Amino acid sequence: MKYQEFCKQLIELIGGKENIQSVTNCMTRLRFKLNDRKLAKTEEIKELPDVIDVVSNDVAYQVIIGTQVQDIRPEMNQILGLSGESKKSESAEKEKFITMALRILSESMGPILIPIMAAGLLAGILSLISLTGLVSAESSTYLILDAIRQSVFFFLPVLIAISFARRLEVNEYLAVTIALTLMSDTINGAKGLDFLGLSLPETTYSNSFFPIILSIIFMKYVGKLLEKIMPKALQYFFNPVLILIITLPITLILFGPLGTYIGDGLNFVFDFIGNTFGSWSVVMLYAALQPFLITIGAGNFIIPIFMNSYATLGYDPVFTAAWIISDIAVCGAVMGYFFRSKDKKQKQLFGTTAFSAFMGVTEPAVYGVFVKYRRPYVAVMIGGGLGGLFAGLMKVVGYAPVGLFGLASFIGKDNYQNFYMMLIAVIIGFVGAAIAAFILGIPDDEKVEEKQAEPVEMNAEAVTKLLIKAPVKGKNVALSNVNDKAFSSSALGKGLGIEPEEDLISAPVNGEVVSLFPTNHAIGIKTEYGVEILIHIGINTVELDGKYFETFVKQGDKVSVGDAILKADMAGIRSEGYDPVVITVITNTADYLDVLPSSDSSLNSKEDCLTVVV
């Protein structure tokens, strides 16, 4: 249980176990379905050490974590007592059908992508091995390894059956039975079949996508109906067989052709766009706009579209190339900022998020850089758009849904021209976004300033930010690492801690002393702009009843930056077994756009420790 403490904190901040209906995950985020989203303390969740950001939309309440989410989700389920992935709640409001469909579709795609991406990477590796001549494409070794790739796509309905059955709470084994039956030689692609005299259309179910989804949805409602009308004593014996013999013919008569029509319809739409406007337009637009979609949590909407393309066409003419170009453009944009910035803190942020984007995980860059600085969105629109335009005009297609490291899969069956054009498109996307970001620059209002902020009049609106000095000299401690739950969870506001190296506490701002605890271990100061600052000395030091504390001010006094306001005998506090960490938080954090703590490892009373963005 490596992430046990994190899971417990997240569950508590999200409203407790009783507020969680279900929890799933994709590559980088936990997706919660909650009874009441108002109970979730979003800002405090964002402050948890493993959390990158939180996105709440109609599809799900999403906590972005990173690739370690694969390890966190099982521990989360164990603590919640969920053997599967969901928990029913009678008090939950019924979702709108479209919202529910989007959520289930999005949540079900994540597990399926894992073997598909593995198959795609394997295809790329095999292409390279074949190209070098180490292993012939006709050799048994090559054919055995390639069987993995072929099997993943041929038996795609089985993978879909498992994933969707789990999300819809349908018996997985019955769902797989239906999928395997559809793919049997008797049914799959067979001609001249009829059922009870009713002629059945010729339908190929292997590599298909939509027929099995429709079948499992229907299976769910058949199961519910049988539970109502079948005596409980007979349900165990008869319900499974009845579900199968009812679902199978309906699938053959209705869902097979309907699913085929849906797939063909999607292909027709893209053919129409390609013939009318040019498919390059879609590739260009998606490569340019993908970061916006990620920001609003809608990045997964393309999955059923490109999965259908692979199932029906054997390749994807649009989205695989577009998302790879967009990902590398994100990396390029952040690298442009890396070379532009002279601030060590910013360089560290840009460097780590660029590496993450290069590895195919763009959420840290999008939420950590794009949302904050905004201009990188424009850089990706330029670089990604140019790369997507080139790939579209060159009619680049993807043969497997892989990331940057699976570029070799674009070779397909000796289609080297396709590979070379994709490689050029990737370079265009990276270089174009990097240059654009470098030229666009870092917004001045986000740069670290070296002086106390003064009021700035802008259309009668005062102050855009306020810099707060450190109240004491010492080592910077992240608020999440402070050994006090009320502070570390940010329940009292955002801020930071300082391990003190001196006894004197100074006023961090110009303002008024609005509160002073009788024990003198904590003081509240309010600035003329309404920023409320709490300085709390030590953990549980209220128990000292004022011992080791001395005050130089009283409630109602005006103070200026640097004025001595308190004195604490830090050595004496430590001798009593208490942690003397000096905690500084903005208690009305919710009134402002953000509160940003300093990243410097050590601070003194002449340095800024917090930035309040108004």
Catalytic residue among 7, 521, 536, 609: 536
Contact, 577 vs 595, CB < 8 A? Answer: no
Q: How many CB atoms lie within 10 A of CB 275?
A: 9
Tokens at 137, concatenated = 């494409």
Residue 536 annotated in active site: yes
Secondary structure percentages of the chain, helix, strand, coil, to 5:
55, 15, 30
E strand or H helix at 215, and its extent?
Answer: helix 210-229
If DSSP codes are grouped into helix, strand and coil, which group holds residue 344? helix
Nearest Cα residue to 6 out of 75, 107, 100 = 75
- 8 Å CB contact between 287 and 328: no
Element (H, E) at 585: strand 582-586
Residue that is written with structure tokens 């029906």 in the block: 312
* Distance separating the N- and C-terminal Cα atoms of the chain: 40
DSSP β-ladder status, 61-64 and 53-56: antiparallel
Neighbours of 18 (CB within 10 A): 12
Dist CA 404 CA 416 (whole Å): 17
The pairing of beta strand 198-199 with beta strand 61-64? unpaired
- Distance from C-alpha of 581 to C-alpha of 500, rounded to nearest angstrom: 6
- Residue 7 falls in the annotated catalytic set: no
Q: Which of 7, 26, 331, 609 is catalytic?
A: 26
Residues with active-site annotation: 26, 536
